[in-house]
Amino acid sequence: MFKNRRNIYIFVAAAVVVIVAIVLVIASVRSQGTTAAAYQTTTVQLGTLTSSVQGSGSVSSALTSSLTWQTSGQVDKVNVQIGNQVKAGDILASVLPPSSTQSTLETALVNAQAALAELTSPEAIANAKLDITTAQTNLINAQSALNNTQYWQNAALIQDYYSKFVIAKANLAKAQKAYDNAHVGQYINNTGEAGLYQALYNAQQAYNTAQYYYSLYSQKPTQRQLDQAQANLDLANATLTNAQNYLTALTGGDVPADATGASLLKFEQAKLAVQAAQDNLDAANLTAPFNGTITQSSAVPGQIVSASSAAFRIDDLTDLVVAIPVVQIDVNSVKAGQPATITFDAIPNKTYNGKVIKVDLAGTSSSSTVNFNVSVQLSDADAQVKPGMTANVTITTNQVDNALLIPSTSIFTDTNGQNYVYLVQNGTTTAVAVTVGATSDTSSQITGDTLKEGDIIVLSFASTTSSSSSSRGFGLGGFGGGGEGGGTRVITTP
């Protein structure tokens, strides 16, 4: 009986010892849990870093036009249908205007053509050539007159005119004396008297001319005389230029854009009248303005239409673009020429290529966001891509090959703005300063030599205070955890 009681006491004592040991272990674990931390690691890798900007927009053709009827009437012929490819100038459809309107338009064209033909007839061209010859003569005379006016101080010239004046005066006196000595009466009675009169008349004319030129060159010209001589020369020059331009126009040559003149204006108006009359007559035909594809059509033979009503839409499907809005924080990284990939919800499992062709310099505000339109041109569009489709665009704004890469979530920043990572070596962590180069949504390029390929760094930390408390997530950011264990380890928080 006593022996059994002693065994019971020994068993109870052992149980107490075990219980005390368990409590001490639990307390120890809890004590460690308050100062321990968990972290996930990743490996520094070499790879290609790609930065991109994404957006969505609608497909449109760079060259598009909605065609409307130019006149009213009944649709006569429709030569195309949706999907047809056309060339610039092709007649797509035509209408039949009222007969009275047709007759009026035809008459107007005939009259305009007749007026133009009269201006370009051989007789008109000959007169234009004659006008040039006359203008050239007038120019020579005007230049001579200006020269004579400007060179009044030429002593030799003045002396020459004076000598002519003296001779003419003497000849006049001699002729007058001979005529007076003949006692010619009121009427000339014979050839001798007639000869004396002719000699006197010619001497008087020569004297008047000599006196005029001597008087002209023997005194300084006034400013008004100089201005008049210069104005006459300018007018002669302008008249000759206008005459030459007019003849060039009549004979089909190239006329300067700034050419003027009443004759040239009349000729241009005659040509415009013919063109306007022809356009009015041609308004019954609807033509393609450029090479493209008919993408919409509302033309039906026999239909009554009015001017400006819709007829066709034509698009150049060889040149398709997508305009996407880009937020202001990303727009400065987008440049013309950058590559892009394009996908469509309407065309699954297929990716198209393109490039940026335009970036707007002015943004538009919408609510609290400022967006800039960016135009992306498709380079390999096929028949499945149609204007109006919604496209998803990814623009590659930067690409760095053979870059040293780490997840962006593994980079920490101190109060001085210095970036650093925790390098894991032999189970301990060391803070290492790093320089960040290019970045993407999830990864960052590390430049310099503080890290190398294969280094193990901390991806993120999570506190583990007890088995019942919840841990913080690791935020892998799409850059797979790896390296030493690739999982969670418990260490002292650095």
pLDDT in tens, 12-37: 343 433 343 433 333 443 434 433 45
Per-residue pLDDT band at 277 (split at 50, 70, 90):
confident
- pLDDT, residue 55, reads 94
Per-residue pLDDT band at 393 (split at 50, 70, 90):
very high
Of 220 and 253, more confident: 253
Is it the case that residue 60 has pLDDT exceeding 90?
A: yes
Domain locations in the chain as residue ranges: 52-63+313-400, 72-96+284-308, 122-262
Residue of 324, 325, 355 lying closest to 340 (CA atoms): 355
Instruction: List the structure tokens of 63.
Output: 């060259």
* Domain spanning 72-96+284-308: CATH 1.25.40.10: no
- pLDDT, residue 10, reads 35
Per-residue pLDDT band at 202 (split at 50, 70, 90):
very high
Is it the case that residue 117 has pLDDT exceeding 60?
A: yes
Of 243 and 476, more confident: 243
- Choose the weakest-confidence range: 5-9, 347-351, 425-429, 469-473: 469-473
Instruction: Please state, in angstroms and rounded to a whole number, the distance separating the CA atoms of residues 58 and 474.
Output: 39
- pLDDT, residue 477, reads 35
Mean pLDDT throughout 472-489?
36
- pLDDT, residue 485, reads 35
Q: Are 434 and 446 in contact (CB under 8 A)?
A: yes
Is it the case that residue 465 has pLDDT exceeding 80?
A: no
pLDDT digits (tens, 9 = 90+) for 121-136: 999 999 999 999 999 9
pLDDT digits (tens, 9 = 90+) for 333-370: 999 999 999 999 999 999 999 999 999 999 999 888 99
- Name the percent of the chain lying above pLDDT 90: 58
Q: Are 57 and 446 in contact (CB under 8 A)?
A: no
Mean pLDDT throughout 438-445?
86
Across 264-281, b (16+ Cβ under 10 Å) vs e yields: beebeebeebbeebeebb
Residue of 294, 292, 340, 341 lying closest to 318 (CA atoms): 292
For residue 413, the one-letter residue type is: T
Mean pLDDT throughout 461-488?
40
Which fold, 52-63+313-400? Elongation Factor Tu (Ef-tu); domain 3 (2.40.30)
Is it the case that residue 155 has pLDDT exceeding 90?
A: no
- pLDDT, residue 247, reads 93
Is it the case that residue 179 has pLDDT exceeding 50?
A: yes
Query: What angle separates helix 223-250 from helix 262-282, to the nearest 10 degrees?
Result: 30
Q: If you average pLDDT over every residue of the chain, what do you get?
A: 83
- Kindly report whether the global pTM for this prediction surpasses the value 0.85: no
pLDDT digits (tens, 9 = 90+) for 72-104: 888 989 999 999 999 999 999 989 876 667 778
- pLDDT, residue 442, reads 87
Instruction: Please state, in angstroms and rounded to a whole number, the distance separating the CA atoms of residues 49 and 139.
Output: 77
**CB burial class (10 A; 0-12, 13-18, 19+) of residue 130?**
exposed
Of 219 and 166, more confident: 166
Mean pLDDT throughout 377-389?
95
**CB burial class (10 A; 0-12, 13-18, 19+) of residue 121?**
exposed
Instruction: Please state, in angstroms and rounded to a whole number, the distance separating the CA atoms of residues 132 and 248.
Output: 11
Instruction: List the structure tokens of 480.
Output: 């797979």
Mean pLDDT throughout 161-184?
92
pLDDT digits (tens, 9 = 90+) for 289-317: 999 999 999 999 999 999 889 999 999 99
Give, in degrees to the nearest 5, the angle at Cα 211 between 206 and 217: 130
Instruction: Please state, in angstroms and rounded to a whole number, the distance separating the CA atoms of residues 286 and 65.
Output: 13
- pLDDT, residue 37, reads 54
- Choose the weakest-confidence range: 52-61, 200-209, 337-346, 469-478: 469-478
- pLDDT, residue 463, reads 52
Mean pLDDT throughout 188-214?
91
